[in-house]
Every structure is written in C-alpha cells, then in structure tokens.
Structure 1
Amino acid sequence: MEKGEPRACRDVIKDNISETCTCQKNFTVYESFEKNVYLYYGLDNFYQNHRRYVKSRDDKQLLGKDDTAVSNDCSPFGTDGEGMVYAPCGAIANSMFNDTLKLFEIKLGGQAEELNLIKTGIAWPSDRKIKFNNPPGSLNSTGAFKNNVKPPYWTKNVYELDKQDPSNNGYKNEDLIVWMRSAAFPTFRKLYRKIDHNMTGFKFSFPKGQYYLEVEYNYPVDSFGGKKRMILSTTSFLGGKNNFLGIAYITVGSVDQLNINQNTPYSD
C-alpha cells in the first residue's frame, strides 16, 4: 500500500490497538417510521454463551460488596501482575464493546446535524436495580475504586465510563450492564442508544431522508472472525413492534472500507 492511501480501520487497529480511527457510512431511510426508534450494535461469530465465558464474572464485585478479592471464575482477568484487582473482573467485562456510534442527518443544503441519542434507559431495569451497584465512596481512584485497576483491554477506568452523569457511572453504567447480560447465540444485537424524539422533526417519527453513521472504531473483530453491524429498529429489548429499518441495517464490515477521518500517517 502506498503511503497516503486510506487504510481500513480494522487494519489500523490490528497494527496498533491504541490507535484512533474514525470511519463513516452514508445510508438512506426511504420511509418514515413512527417512534420509538432504537439504535443497536450487532456482533457476528462472538460466542458469549461459551461455558467458561458466561461464568467469568464476579456478581458480588458488581454489587459493590468487595473490591479486594474476586472469584476464581474471573481468572485470568482477576488481578494484574501486582495483585491489583481488575474492576470489573472477568472475560465478559474485559471484552466489552467500546466503539462509539454517532448518527447524523444530512439536510437539504448538504450540511450534517448530529442526532441526540439517549444513553440511559437501555438496560433491563431489574438488572440495574438489583444486580449492579457501586462500592461506597467517591467514584475515583482514591475513593470507591482505590484498590482496583482497569481491565487489560479497556482504554479507561470503570469510574470514567460516564463522568458527566454519576448515576450512569461505574458499575451502574448502562452500556456495561447491557454488555454483561450474555447473549444466547453467536450472532446477536444489543441496545446501544434510544433516538431522542424531542428533536425538531423527530417528535412523531424517524423521518425519511439521508443520514450517515460515524464510528469511532475501537473494537477489533478480526481475532474471532467476526463482523459488526448497526441496526435501527422500532423494536425495543422489551418487545413491541417488529418493523426493522431494513435500509439502516448496516454491516460495519463495509464501514471498515470508508476511512475519511483517520488519525494515522496514511490519512488524507
């Protein structure tokens, strides 16, 4: 590949997992869909139902009851080389999906406007209320998590998952809670965000028109031969309508080929 050519994000991340890569995919919604509309991410060929993987967690830790010792089920993602406990521990948490997805509407004049996406209310209420709680103390490295370090594959600490909203931070973070509910099959989708229908033009529906998906690509899938997808649907995780926005069912494998804003030496 000649220097200066754009590279697929999957290749950038494969070469350097700490590299930043952003890609974009345009799509068309041909008919408006009544609210409410939900944004999912999907993974293919990811076996969250593997026996050892499903057990690789510590529910006592996730309830905030003990930060100094963890279940042997978390091994080899229980403690680091110095004996510090990973928060959260285990293979499930360590492999948490961490791409950032944004949606933009392309207006008639060609300008793009980012859509408001709601990040709370995406987890099962029973999970959030009963199964997850933060340890006592401030959500920082000297308070509630003073005896912990971030999992090896994470780029931030658990108390940094949502610093703007303390009620959605730490073990109470809904992205974490959604991920920790293991899928039964190797091809699955998980709720990522809800479309904010208080936006102008979106009060009653998700209007037809031109859009694009922007992906901050952090989550590698080549290691397990997988694919990533984005799905817009009028079906929530609790059921309801079953109308999929078929045109907005995007395989992120194709997004891999569109690299318009890479922070790499090969960017345009």
Structure 2
Amino acid sequence: MPSESPPASRKPEDTPFKQQRVPSWQPIFSPMWVISAFFFIGIVFLPIGIGLYAESRKPIDYRVQYDGIDWVGSNQNSDNTKLTQLPGASCYLENKTYGHTFNLSQHGCVVSFTLDQDVKGPILVFYEIGNFSQNYKHYAKSRSSDQLRGKDNPDISDCQATFTDVDEAVKFNSSAAPSSYQLNPCGLMANTLFNDIFWMHSIVSPDGKYYNQTDLYDGVDVLNLMDQSDLSWNSDKNKFKNYANLDSSQMYLWENPKYGWIIPSRVGQQPIINRTAWTKPTTTYGVESDRFKIWMREAGLPYFRKLYGRINMDFPKGTTISFLISSNFPIADIHGRKSIAIATKTWLGGQNPGLAIGYIAIGGICLILSFLFFGKHKLSPRRLGDANYLVWQGKNG
C-alpha cells in the first residue's frame, strides 16, 4: 500500500476568516453614486479650503536678506522692509576672511520691518540660511554625543580630526591653550555655530514717536524686548550638559564658561571674553544654551529657519520694528544666503497657504467633475445592466 502523505503542517484552519469566506460588500459605482460622491467632496473641501486660506493669511511673515549671493542692498527695501548699512560698514561678507570680526563698525547694519496690520504677540524672530546642508552626512555625524552630555572620558572618534585638537584647529587661536588640550565641543557642526548677533535697535510708533534702545516701550527697555530664553525643544534639554569640574590639562572650553554666548576667537586674536557685549551672566551657557541646542538640531533642507528670539508684545498697524545686526557668519564662499525674518503664528501655524490651496484644488476639481458627469448622464444616459452593451465573442458570427 502506498504510504499516506503527512498532513500539511501549515494548513490554515477551516474557518470563514482564514478561508476567506467572510461575507463582503462591494459598492456598485452607478452614475448618480459617482456624481453624488464628487459633489459631496467638493462642497465639503471648498469651504474648508477657503477657511484655511483665510486663516493662513492672518500671520505676518517678513524677511530681509542681508548677506550672501544675489545680495543687492537696495533690492531689500519695500513698503514693509528696509535695510540700512551702518556708516562705513556692511553686513555683506565677501568671503570667509571677512567673517568672525564681531565689529559693528565693519560689518553692521539695521533691518526695519513696518507692520501692515495689527499684530498680537508673540512675534517670532528667525535667522534664515540658504544653500547650507546641515544634514550632509559627514557634517551631521561630526559630533560627540558623550562630550555634549558632559560624560567623563568621552568618545570623540566621530569628530573630524581637525576639530579635535586645538593646535590642528586653524580656525581658532592655538595660542589660547596648550596643544595637548582637546576642543570642547568638538566636531564640524559645533564649530560652525551661527554667530551673527541680532539686537533690538528701535521702535517707531504709528504716530511717528521714536524709541531707541534705552527708551521704555510699554514699560520695557527696547533693547530687552526680545526674549531669548526657553527657545529650544524640551526633548533637547537632556542632550546637552556642561562639564561641572573640567580638568584644565585635558580640555579647552572654547565657549565662554560664564556668559551666554558661544563664540570662537579668530586666528591671531585673543580669546573673546567680555569685549563684544557678552557681559550679562546667564544660567544657561556653553552647550546648555538655547542658541547652541537649536543649531545642533540639524535641518532637513538646505533652506531653513531657526528661532533666535521672540517679542512677547502686541503692536498696532504701522509700527516699525528695527534690528541691529552684527554680521559674522561667512556664507558667500558656499554661495549661501543669510536673512532675518519675523513672523507670527495661529492655531494653523505660520503663513503657509499650501494646505488651503490643496483643499481648494481638490474641492474645485471634484465639483467640476460632478457637473460634467451630471451633464453627460442627462444628455447621453446609459442604463445599467443593459445587455445591448455586452459584446460576446462570436455574437454576430
């Protein structure tokens, strides 16, 4: 007798679900069903799109390029924006040799924004960089997470060699520390920190009253109207920690350990301590500063904005807000651009009509299709189930 074959070990159970015998329903797309579906989608999406578009127009969004390629100072002026160079100075840096001077008399300018509507705070202040790929693999990975967290004996193997030892980091003043010191923080990203500086310069009210940096505007010094605290994401708070007790024979802390700005010194210059307005002590300094945390969160696109500060105050239509800029970050050599921008946001976010346009486009297309199909159905109807429309093989043979 032939041997019986072994039972199938992976045979599905004989149940309606596993044997695909569950009752199903499939809609029949009749002409009126399709017409009704298109019409319903259209009348729902169009009002939503119009509402989203109206909401997306409420926030303000002004931007002025002050450095980089295709930069022409006079072209930055409009009804709402104005760029003014300081006497004998320019924010335009022709190449990297002009960067990192921290000298307003050489590279300083004033950017003014005139509000065309009443604005409720907070007003967000951004710096915008173009043609700068932070997510480039070798750039983004050139960092030491252990070092940034303040761990002892950190692994710095991922940092580029030229950004590990002080004597090899030609960008910095090697005489500031012995060559045996390690650079902290190391890596390409940390050592190319955006270091342009924005200050509040003046406020001009709609009636023409001028408030300079030391004047009070609504009870606050104009210079201090821009809040620069609590800017980074909460998720980044545990990723950065300064070294509590640093062995001076092992590490060179290039960021100012007592003040709130992280600025490397140029080759041939003394280390920057308290010579460029970095005189206000802060509880968040070094790698724990919001400015550093925001920069270290790499952008996904080559054109990006990063938060610089916020103005927690309302302003009436016609108010002119001016910023004083110290241009230090060289961008021309990589054909990039630098801009300052101010914007507000609503529950929908900033000024971006993309979502609204999508809803309006889909709603409009669906409405047009519903009318076209309805007209075709009325002018040239087709009865469902009509055997005359069936063509069998050999029907006329």
* TM-score w.r.t. length of structure 1: 0.72
SS of the residue corresponding to residue 92 of structure 2 reads helix
Q: Distance in 1 between matches of 2:98 and 2:110?
A: 20
Q: Which of 59, 67, 79 does residue 145 from structure 2 map onto?
A: 59
* CA deviation string 1:95-130 (max 9, x = no partner): 1001111232124234434351111110011101x1
Shift of 1:164: 3.5
Q: Which amino acid aligns with 2:244?
A: P
Aligned to 1:150: 254
The yes-or-no answer on 1:212 pairing with 2:322 is yes
Aligned to 1:95: 192
* CA deviation string 1:5-40 (max 9, x = no partner): 945333477554353121112231111222222111
Q: Which of 172, 180, 185 does residue 83 from structure 1 map onto?
A: 180
1:175–1:192 CA contact under 8 A, matched in 2:
yes
1:74–1:89 CA contact under 8 A, matched in 2:
yes
* CA deviation string 1:59-93 (max 9, x = no partner): 10011113x65422211211122132111110001
1:43–1:189 CA contact under 8 A, matched in 2:
yes
Alignment of 1:186-201 (within 5 A): 186-195=302-311, 197=312
Aligned to 2:134: 48
The yes-or-no answer on 1:9 pairing with 2:91 is yes
Q: Distance in 1 between matches of 2:288 and 2:350?
A: 29
The yes-or-no answer on 1:181 pairing with 2:181 is no
Q: Which of 115, 126, 146 does residue 29 from structure 1 map onto?
A: 115
Report how many residues are paired: 223
1 or 2, which has the higher strand percentage?
A: 1
Q: Which amino acid aligns with 2:183?
A: Y
The yes-or-no answer on 1:226 pairing with 2:336 is yes
Cα distance change on mapping 1:241 and 1:34 into 2, 3 Å: farther
Cα distance change on mapping 1:31 and 1:167 into 2, 3 Å: same
1:43–1:228 CA contact under 8 A, matched in 2:
yes
Aligned to 2:9: none
Q: Which of 106, 115, 118 does residue 227 from structure 2 map onto?
A: 118
Q: Which of 58, 72, 76 does residue 157 from structure 2 map onto?
A: 72
SS of the residue corresponding to residue 97 of structure 1 reads coil
The yes-or-no answer on 1:134 pairing with 2:242 is yes
2:149–2:241 CA contact under 8 A, matched in 1:
yes
SS of the residue corresponding to residue 65 of structure 1 reads coil
Structure 1 gaps, min length 5: 138-142, 245-268
Cα distance change on mapping 1:13 and 1:150 into 2, 3 Å: farther
Displaced runs of 4+ in structure 1, greater than 6 A?
160-163
Q: Identity of aligned pairs, percent?
A: 26
Q: Distance in 2 between matches of 1:163 and 1:111?
A: 23
Q: Distance in 2 between matches of 1:145 and 1:185?
A: 38
* TM-score w.r.t. length of structure 2: 0.50
1:134–1:144 CA contact under 8 A, matched in 2:
no
Q: Distance in 2 between matches of 1:34 and 1:18?
A: 35
Q: Which amino acid aligns with 2:92?
A: R
Q: Which amino acid aligns with 2:288?
A: K
The yes-or-no answer on 1:109 pairing with 2:209 is yes
2:100–2:329 CA contact under 8 A, matched in 1:
no
SS of the residue corresponding to residue 9 of structure 1 reads coil
* CA deviation string 1:208-234 (max 9, x = no partner): 312222101111111211111112122
Q: Distance in 2 between matches of 1:167 and 1:28?
A: 34
RMSD (Å), alpha carbons? 3.1
Shift of 1:188: 0.2
Q: Distance in 2 between matches of 1:12 and 1:145?
A: 37
Structure 2 gaps, min length 5: 1-86, 168-178, 214-221, 256-262, 266-270, 353-397
Q: Distance in 2 between matches of 1:8 and 1:168?
A: 31
Q: Distance in 2 between matches of 1:27 and 1:49?
A: 31
2:128–2:340 CA contact under 8 A, matched in 1:
yes
Question: Which of the pair has the greater relative contact order for Cα pairs under 8 Å at 6+ separation?
Answer: 1
